Amino acid sequence: MEVGKDTKFTLSIETGISILVTVGMIIGMWYSLQAEIELAKELPEPEVSRMEYDLKDQMIRDSILNTEGKVDKLEEKVDDIKEDTRAITETLIDMNNK
């Protein structure tokens, strides 16, 4: 397909109207979005009260301590499993040596 001086481009009225409506909708959404952005800029920033901050901080600290406790318990269980595995291994070795 070559485009030149003799190339004809046809556009139906329906297609032209559809293009205009689509462009109009996009422009309308753009201005609506811009208006909402400007409104959002004017709204006051939400304040985080000292009490809310302290409560969240305490909750995080409690969560960390709770997690540390769980890790300690898991380490103890792993140590117990290692000891049991060693005992079983020694028993098997002794049984094979006899």
Q: Is residue 1 situated within a structural domain?
A: no
The structural domain count of the chain equals 1
Q: How far apart are CA 32 and CA 34, in angstroms?
A: 5
Which residue range(s) make up the domain with 41?
13-97
Closest CA to 53 of 45, 43, 61: 61
Q: What is the pLDDT of residue 1?
A: 60
Q: Is residue 82 situated within a structural domain?
A: yes
- Is the confidence at residue 6, as pLDDT, over 90? no
Q: Is residue 79 situated within a structural domain?
A: yes
Least confident of 12-26, 29-43, 46-60: 46-60
Least confident of 5-9, 15-19, 34-38: 5-9
Q: Is residue 8 situated within a structural domain?
A: no
